[in-house]
Amino acid sequence: MFFHRLKDYLSIQKQGVQSQLDGMRSCVYYSNWSVYSRKHFPDQIPLEYTTNVFYAFFNVDPLTGEVKLSDSWADLELPIESHFAENGRDTTTCTNDGLIATMFALKKLHRHVKVSMSIGGWSNRDSFKEGLSTDEKLNRFVNSAVELMLLYGFDGIDLDWEYPETHHEISKYVLVMKKLRLKFRNIEELKGLKMDTILLTMSSPAFIGMLSTFPVREIDRYLSFWNLVSYDFAGEWSETTGYHCNLYKRSSTLMSSDELCADDAVKYLIKKGIDSTKIVLGMANYGRSFTMTGGLGHPFHGVGDGSSDEKGIWSYNKLPLPGTKEQYDEQCVVAYCYDSKSKTFVSYDNPESVKKKGKYVHCMKLGGGMWWESCGDCYDDPSRSLIHNFVESIGGVQVLDQTNNLSTEVFVNSEFLISKNLV
């Protein structure tokens, strides 16, 4: 066993994880809280247009470092009747207890859909920091994450620490990735899987000020691909209103010195030697609002209530605001609307912007696109759906990655899946 681990270690150090891309990726985050006020369930995800789902979120215990469920009732107990379509027909209806079992049932019917467990999220950032603060906690994190991945039948792990800041925190984060990849290599050898079949991804910052503090070449050795968080460029923390998901910057005469854009981050990673096909461009299924403002680039006072339980956040399917006209900034590749009565400005992606981003992905030879989050799209109107328009802009479903997810044989020892009659 020692020599096998040494071989895996040396192979990672020599060449790292190579791009496994067999087509373009169309990825989406699914949050386990979206079943509540938003009434959004896994079978509403457009699976034909989706290759990867990131199930959000698992939490980190700051005291022990162990990875744990964030909502055990929604994850394991909530009765869910799902209607899974296959080949354009509604072929089966099944009832599962909990979202995780539902996700596994989804995987079995749609073999091209890979489902990863996503650990962290913005609200769990401090727990991540404390949970990796010692070697003992870090090892517990790695071991418990892999145990849960195998128990619940996931195809991989997505790390979403937003974001490590100090050199110590970053080094611990990189060590987690390395240890996870070594664990995955051992599982792959044991199960007879092709090397690097198990997915390891991270939510990557898309601003160079932070990216420049990350050892991106070393991180890339362990990752299957990068989920570039190329949104949230502006918000309640900003000094003036701005676009939150723009591809390019404004003209120099209008641009503030600290303005961010997705293009800068993509080109930075490529310049650092990252294979462009391992970069997945993040897009937003929501808008960010600013209130009491004269428009773009103006001061503001507050962000308003929004359409969700988070202030200043508007689900894309609620935009443009009632009584406003949707506008499109061709230079920056982003949409916006402005309510002159309430003096509310909202920036977001729309069909026109994601089509342009799709052409950008194709031109830059990127690996595909990713959305936060699935509940915000317009599934009842394909002409307005961001996921639908993006996939069509890169060539349609026929260009998407069709690699199979992990088969049930990998999880035959899972007591959880056995109890659900899923293996």
Secondary structure class of 420 (helix, strand, coil): coil
Q: Which among 128, 92, 121, 126 is positioned nearest to 109, based on CA atoms?
A: 92
Distances (CA, A) of 183 to 147, 198, 200: 11, 10, 11
Of 21 and 100, more confident = 100
Which residue ranges form the domains of the chain, and what is each CATH number? 2-284+351-419 (3.20.20.80)
Give the active site residues: 162
Q: What is the pTM of this model?
A: 0.94
Sorting pLDDT into bands at 50, 70 and 90, what band is 308?
confident
Q: Look at residue 75 and tell me whether its pLDDT is greater than 50.
A: yes
> What stretches of 223-354 adopt beta strand conformation (E)?
225-229, 279-284, 286-290, 313-315, 327-329, 334-339, 344-348
Q: Look at residue 12 and tell me whether its pLDDT is greater than 70.
A: no
Share the mean pLDDT of the chain.
93
pLDDT for 10: 57
* Beta partners for residue 290, in sequence order: 345
pLDDT for 89: 52
Let me know: does 148 contact 60? Beta carbons within 8 Å: no
- Enter the tokens of residue 104: 């596994």
Percent of the chain scored above 90 by pLDDT? 87
Could you tell me the end-to-end alpha-carbon distance of the chain, in angstroms, rounded to an integer?
Answer: 28
Q: Look at residue 253 and tell me whether its pLDDT is greater than 50.
A: no
Sorting pLDDT into bands at 50, 70 and 90, what band is 81?
confident
Distance CA(234)–CA(379), nearest Å, equals: 27
Residues 6+ apart with CB under 8 A from 187: 146, 150, 193, 198
Cα within 13 Å of Cα(171), Cβ side: 6
323: left (phi over 0), alpha (psi -120 to 50) or beta: left
Q: Look at residue 97 and tell me whether its pLDDT is greater than 60.
A: yes
Residues 6+ apart with CB under 8 A from 243: 233, 234, 296, 329, 332, 334, 336, 347
pLDDT for 17: 79
- Region 243-261 average pLDDT: 79
